[in-house]
Amino acid sequence: MSLARRCSRTPCGRPAVQTLTYVYADQTAVLGPLATFAEPHAYDLCATHGERLSAPRGWEVLRLATDLTDRGPSEDDLLALADAVREAARPLTPERPAPHEESGHETARRGHLRVLSPD
């Protein structure tokens, strides 16, 4: 369930859990799992509006199997979050070697770059 995507029905503010698309050539309304990203010609619906969906006379409603239970974040989601936290915690500047580890001495400096002469 996406907290960022809401039901397309105007007065509804519930989270979207299904996506509705129309196949005009076949006169079919297809209600399936929530699409990966919002599409301009598709409608995201909450569970309540998905259950109540009816099609125009002569049209068929094709309901694809969807699991509407909220299972929470997957293991991949948690690992991605942990990687993002580790990346954000890294220092912004690279660690400098200790002065005794450097070879040569600094002859010029421009911004964060240094020119070293071999000694």
- pLDDT bucket at 46, cuts 50 / 70 / 90: very high
Reading the block at residue 107, the tokens are 């002859």
Is residue 20 assigned to a domain?
Answer: yes
3-state DSSP helix/strand/coil percent for the chain, to nearest 5? 25, 25, 50
21 close to 30: Cβ distance less than 8 angstroms = yes
Domain that holds residue 25: 1-93
* 113-117 and 28-33 strand pairing: unpaired
In a domain, 115, yes or no: no
- Check pLDDT > 60 for residue 98: no
pLDDT one-digit tens code per residue, 12-43? 889 999 999 999 999 999 999 988 888 889 99
Closest by CA to 78, choosing from 86, 68, 90, is: 86
**Residue 21, SS3?**
strand
In a domain, 105, yes or no: no
Asked if residue 109 is part of any domain, the answer here is: no
Angstrom distance (rounded) from CA 71 to CA 94: 40
Task: Kindly state whether residue 114 falls inside one of the protein's structural domains.
Answer: no
**How far is it, in rounded angstroms, from Cα 58 to Cα 35?**
26
Angle 44-49-52 from CA coordinates, rounded to 5°: 135
Please give the model's pTM, rounded to 2 decimal places: 0.53
Question: Does residue 107 sit within a domain?
Answer: no
Instruction: Report residue 75 as tokens.
Output: 């293991």
**What is the predicted pLDDT for the residue at 1?**
45
Residue 7 within any structural domain of the chain = yes
Q: Decide if 56 is inside a domain.
A: yes
Based on the structure, what is the number of domains in the chain?
1
